[in-house]
Amino acid sequence: MGILINHLTKVFPNGKGIFDLTFEVKPGEVFGFLGPNGAGKSTTIRHLMGFMKPKSGSTKINGLDCWRNSAEIQKSVGYLPGEIAFLDNINGLELLELLAGMRGMKDVTRRNELIEKLQFDVKTPIRKMSKGMKQKVGIVAAFMHDPDILILDEPTSGLDPLMQSLFVELVLEEKAKGKTILMSSHMFQEIDRTCDRVGIIKDGRLVAVEDAQSMQAKQRKLFDIVVETKNDIEAFKHSDIEIISIEGLRLRVAIQGDYNRFIHVLSQCKINHLDVHSQSLEEIFMHYYDKEESLS
């Protein structure tokens, strides 16, 4: 049960595609599917929705083969496509009614709650909607029938930061209800707040599947610090903290995991400014990529 991807392979005429992907999303789990542009996230998701036939391997949702049972899958799964191409001669509400009709959905309570939460005028004609507004209609369409399985392809693209955090809340609400969620992204932050496990895909191959917690522990943080005196700089030099650069009274250090040592040194100095940068997703990818290459 849940979502199963078993040796899934698809090769496009240009040689790109996805190759021998195997992973599962357990019932009740939120799984982050991370990868840079063109890595193969949408292709994997299109197979799960039964829009594409695998070259080899298979995908299953709640025990049903996604290709052979595509009509049933498409009716029941909550799906948010990566690129939304809606009929644009109707308004948002009419579109949602059309989709509800196709699913045989009668109760509109959840739909109305979601429209209220996402704060947009659902009666705007779709052709006049911004990318973010269309994304909101897509989110309502994916969640409104209270599906057990949600498959969300880059769900926050086009949303402003306020809406991104509202979306995170929405995912956490669904998670608390025990829903099974697969969510693709190229942003570590939104995955960070919601996911139990994370799969990383690069060039069509799965390079790692990890607990979100252990990924967080691997994430290096860079701190920019401005200290008061040269002695403060010396305190850092004499510690075993990794120093990336020093310019006058400004220094940049890298911390991974052990914050206590860092805080201990900080407490001995007079700090005029402190700023933190998380390691970018690209750097995290490089970590996994390097590891893979050194194993081969």
Ligand X SMILES: Nc1ncnc2c1ncn2[C@@H]1O[C@H](COP(=O)(O)OP(=O)(O)OP(=O)(O)O)[C@@H](O)[C@H]1O
Cβ closest to ligand X, residue 83 vs residue 240: 83
Name residues contacting ligand X, limited to 136-195 (CB under 6 A).
186
Residue of 34, 39, 122, 227 interacting with ligand X (CB under 6 A) = 39
Contact 285, 247 (CB under 8 A): no
> Rounded CA gap, 196 and 182, in Å?
11
Residue of 16, 75, 110, 220 interacting with ligand X (CB under 6 A) = 16
Sheet strands side by side (includes 17-25): 17-25, 3-11, 56-61, 64-65
> Rounded CA gap, 295 and 293, in Å?
5
Cβ closest to ligand X, residue 25 vs residue 266: 25
Q: Which stretch binds ligand X (CB under 6 A): 13-21, 64-72, 84-92, 252-260?
A: 13-21
Cβ closest to ligand X, residue 14 vs residue 294: 14
Alpha helices in 177-223 (DSSP H): 188-194, 212-218
Contact 200, 215 (CB under 8 A): no
Q: Closest approach of Cβ 269 to ligand X, in Å? A: 42
> Rounded CA gap, 200 and 196, in Å?
14
Q: Which pair of tokens denotes residue 22?
A: 């195997």
Q: Does 47 bind ligand X (CB under 6 A)?
A: no
Cβ closest to ligand X, residue 53 vs residue 277: 53
Q: Does 260 bind ligand X (CB under 6 A)?
A: no
Cβ closest to ligand X, residue 14 vs residue 267: 14
Site pattern 61..90 for ligand X (x: CB under 6 A): ---------------------x--------
Cβ closest to ligand X, residue 124 vs residue 164: 164
> Rounded CA gap, 73 and 202, in Å?
27
Residue of 6, 9, 17, 224 interacting with ligand X (CB under 6 A) = 17
Q: Which residue has the tokens 């933190």?
A: 276
Q: Does 259 bind ligand X (CB under 6 A)?
A: no
Burial class (CB within 10 angstroms; exposed 0-12, middle 13-18, buried 19+) of 226:
middle
